[in-house]
Structure 1
Amino acid sequence: MIEWRNLYRGLLMGASDIVPGVSGGTIAVILGIYERFIESINDVFTKRWKQSLAFLIPLAVGILFAMWSLTGVINWALKHYPDQVSFLFLGLIAGVIPFLARKSNYKETFERTHYVLLVVAILLVGSMFFLEQDPVGDAITTFDPTTYLILFLSGWLASTAMILPGISGSMLLVLVGMYPTFSHAIHEFVFEALIPLGLGIAFGLLIMSKILRYLFHKFYYQTYALIIGLVIGSLFVIFPGFDTDMMMNVLSMIFLIIGLLVAYGLGKIEH
């Protein structure tokens, strides 16, 4: 039975994946489907493939539709209201931390090693704040074997990050200079770019999902400590600072509160 509810979940994940600094994996955590998302990807080539595809197909449709339809809108918003967009997603991400804490039952399960993992993850992701981030540039429009390989590797890199809460695939594409090409290819349906990108994304998801499933099965609470650290670290990456215009700061706070309320509402509904 196809889970049509995943269409709207995919829309939320796809919209977040477009924004540099935000991870679709974080949204999957808010929606309460993260572990099932990992298991479904792993089950695609097993006897449970029907259940897996029933879960993944509407999710993928929602993600792809959001990326195609909202790329222009989100890029416009990032250009004209970058701080407000950042504060909206800051609220969404901060709002997921209490759910993660309850899921991990940290008061009873976390020991010293768990907190070490948490701090290391915070430092790992937070250090991306100091890297040069410029999502504006020229998209690749001419293609050859080298370009196809670069696009494949970029898709692999992005999907590996997308599946991890707190680590943004879009941010990594910005850092390697491929975000303009990624955005242009999706918005304009450039199939020569989309095919190698899509193959890279699919390959990355399959590999990373297997690693994550192993970690969840063998080191469940350690993995949650790592995820909580990744999510907290992403707050430092996204935080844009404050504007000199007080009204813009007020608007940013409003968007922060909206993000917190949306995260809380989704968490209550889904969990």
Structure 2
Amino acid sequence: MEWKNIYRGMAMGASDVVPGVSGGTIAVLLGFYDQLIAAINGFFTKDWRKHFAFLFPLGLGVVFAIFTLSKVMNWLLKFYPVPTFFFFIGLILGVLPLLFREADAKATFKTRHIVLLFIGIILIGSLVFFKDPNHGAGITDRTVSTYILLFFSGVAASAAMILPGVSGSLVLLIIGVYSTVTQAISNLEFSVIIVTGLGILFGIIFMSKLIHYFFKHFRVAVFALIIGSVTGSVIVIFPGWPMDFFLLLLSITTFAVGLLVAYILGKIEY
């Protein structure tokens, strides 16, 4: 077992709880993204034991972080939403230099890649028009349509979780089920957890194959689109400037902390 993957998984799980940076981005930051995609794709092959040894401790870390931090995130978004989102913005912007470095943008980016970058900004930035301004009050009805929505929300979120770009939590926030899911995790409401989790699992297995193909054949183009998507996500989660001086000062501080956390994560394994 690759037990060092527990702390990697905790970093991924923490990022997947907050609507900021995706678990895929954390995997890029920590230098094991290619291994992650290969392990997911190889899990259903004859070499599954090797990939299980990689994925099991990683999954333990992810689950531990999600169940530990869900209550904290609910509290922060309820009482300090603006400083919390400024932390996410700092985290996102702090990731961009690493993504440019991973893509070797100076040497590889051509005009078409710049166009793709701006397409990513526009596609994700336009989601601001669909954002729930209340960050989702939570769905109280538990009907069949609710569970169908949760399943497909999990599928959509999983694509963001595994891609180095927009976070799965941001997708859940935009769809309007983020609070429903985090409250279910906090209160151990297993019906919501299982249905959403199955959607996430299905999406991860399916998306890993697509990602593997596109990274293999169009790596630079994919990175250009990802960088644009990450940049566009700042537009989506920007909460506006606080009018209160204390909140403004706190927001600037949390923004700086977000930048610092991204920098530290980028240095851990490099």
TM-score normalised by L of structure 1: 0.91
Matches of 1:44 and 1:67, distance apart in 2: 23
Summarize deviations over 1:75-101 as a string: whole Å, max 9, x none.
Answer: 101111112111222222211111111
Change (3 A) 1:245 1:104: same
Asked if 1:99 is matched to 2:98, the reply is yes
The count of residues paired between Structure 1 and Structure 2 equals 269
Matches of 2:268 and 2:14, distance apart in 1: 20
Residue pair 1:29, 1:96 contacting (<8 A) in 2 also: no
Change (3 A) 1:241 1:147: closer
Superposed CA RMSD in Å reads: 1.9
TM-score normalised by L of structure 2: 0.91
Report the equivalent of 1:60. Answer: 59
Residue pair 1:125, 1:234 contacting (<8 A) in 2 also: yes
Report the equivalent of 2:164. Answer: 165
**1:27 match: secondary structure:** helix
**1:208 match: secondary structure:** helix
Residue pair 1:20, 1:168 contacting (<8 A) in 2 also: yes
Matches of 1:227 and 1:174, distance apart in 2: 19
Asked if 1:136 is matched to 2:162, the reply is no
- Look up the equivalent residue of 1:142 and give its one-letter code: R
Matches of 1:231 and 1:37, distance apart in 2: 20
Higher alpha-carbon deviation: 96-105 or 206-215 = 96-105
Asked if 1:108 is matched to 2:107, the reply is yes
Shift of 1:143: 5.1
Matches of 1:31 and 1:253, distance apart in 2: 26
Report the equivalent of 1:225. Answer: 224
Report the equivalent of 2:25. Answer: 26
Report the equivalent of 1:238. Answer: 237
Spell out the pairing of 1:4-43 with structure 2 (5 A cutoff).
4-43=3-42
- Look up the equivalent residue of 2:190 and give its one-letter code: F
Change (3 A) 1:216 1:74: same
- Look up the equivalent residue of 2:123 and give its one-letter code: L
Summarize deviations over 1:149-176 as a string: whole Å, max 9, x none.
Answer: 3332222122122222332322322333
Asked if 1:183 is matched to 2:182, the reply is yes
Change (3 A) 1:132 1:88: closer
Shift of 1:21: 4.5
Matches of 1:29 and 1:22, distance apart in 2: 11
Matches of 1:49 and 1:108, distance apart in 2: 37
- Look up the equivalent residue of 1:177 and give its one-letter code: G
Residue pair 2:136, 2:177 contacting (<8 A) in 1 also: no
- Look up the equivalent residue of 1:117 and give its one-letter code: L
Between the aligned residues of both structures, percent identity stands at 50
- Look up the equivalent residue of 2:212 and give its one-letter code: R
- Look up the equivalent residue of 1:138 and give its one-letter code: G
Structure 1's unaligned 5+ residue stretches are none
Matches of 1:67 and 1:235, distance apart in 2: 23
